[in-house]
């Protein structure tokens, strides 16, 4: 993300980051640290039960006053928080993605969860992101994941519907564990021996922008 200039030229309190599938909140914490005072709001959309983990982690490391968790008894409070609220992190359940619409997004992130969704679900997320995106979407996923998820198809086809995008090369380096390198070599050998591609693909880092 740094190499692509996604953290550059940030005016004070101007950046809005949307992460789909934030997990326990580790990436949110690190990105917020990188952006510093230029981050206005960091929005995580995830399964309700998973938001409890990210709420706990982010509260421990950033203070509970900086974390706002969606209140099902008062949904409008989430909109108020996104507009003028003081918390840096706003956590929204996936079934209330509509609350995020209408807010400009400078950076959207998805790490290894699009590949677990159906094509319809991913398309819904991409449509919402595209309609609000002013910066870039960064995706790190397997574009095809047929052995684990036959309902996805090819992520690249879905990106084509909404964005102009490119892959960012990530060459293997000595920092990659020997186990991972051996695993990739075994896959390549299996493909040659079987004479056909496997049903999954390697991870791809994609940077996408509105045309």
For residues 173-182, average pLDDT: 49
Q: Return the closest-CA partner of residue 205 out of 161, 171, 177, 176.
A: 171
What pLDDT was estimated at residue 174?
A: 45
Q: Which CATH superfamily is domain 15-171+202-209 in?
A: Vaccinia Virus protein VP39 (3.40.50.150)
Q: Is the pTM of this model over 0.85?
A: no
Residues composing the chain:
211
Report the pLDDT value the prediction gives residue 137, as an integer from 0 to 100: 96
Cα dihedral sign, 8-14-17-18: negative
Q: In the prediction, which pLDDT does 148 show? A: 86
* HSE-CB of 67 using CA atoms within 13 angstroms: 20
CA atoms in the 13 A half-sphere facing the CB of 179 = 0
pLDDT tens for each residue of 39-82: 999 999 999 999 999 999 999 999 999 999 999 999 999 999 99
Calpha distance 115→66 (Å, rounded): 30
User: With 90 as the cut, is the pLDDT of residue 195 above it?
Assistant: no
């Amino acid at each position: 993300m740094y190499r692509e200039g996604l953290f550059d030229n940030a005016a004070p309190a101007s950046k809005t980051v949307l992460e789909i599938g934030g997990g326990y909140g580790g990436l949110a914490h690190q990105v917020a640290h990188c952006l510093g005072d230029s981050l206005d709001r960091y929005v995580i959309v995830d399964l309700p039960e998973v938001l409890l983990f990210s709420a706990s982690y982010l509260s421990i490391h950033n203070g509970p006053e900086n974390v706002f968790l969606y209140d099902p008894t008062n949904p409008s409070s989430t909109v108020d928080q996104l507009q003028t609220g003081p918390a840096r992190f706003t956590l929204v359940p996936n079934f209330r993605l509509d609350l995020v619409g209408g807010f400009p997004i400078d950076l959207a992130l998805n790490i290894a969860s699009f590949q677990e969704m159906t094509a319809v679900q991913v398309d819904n997320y991409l449509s919402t992101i595209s309609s609000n995106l002013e910066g870039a979407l960064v995706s790190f996923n397997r574009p095809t994941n047929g052995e684990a998820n036959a309902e996805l198809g090819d992520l690249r086809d879905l990106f084509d519907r909404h964005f102009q995008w490119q892959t960012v090369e990530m060459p293997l380096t000595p920092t990659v564990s020997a186990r991972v390198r051996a695993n990739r070599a075994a896959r390549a050998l299996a493909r040659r021996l079987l004479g056909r591609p496997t049903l999954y693909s390697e991870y791809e880092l994609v940077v996408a922008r509105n045309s």
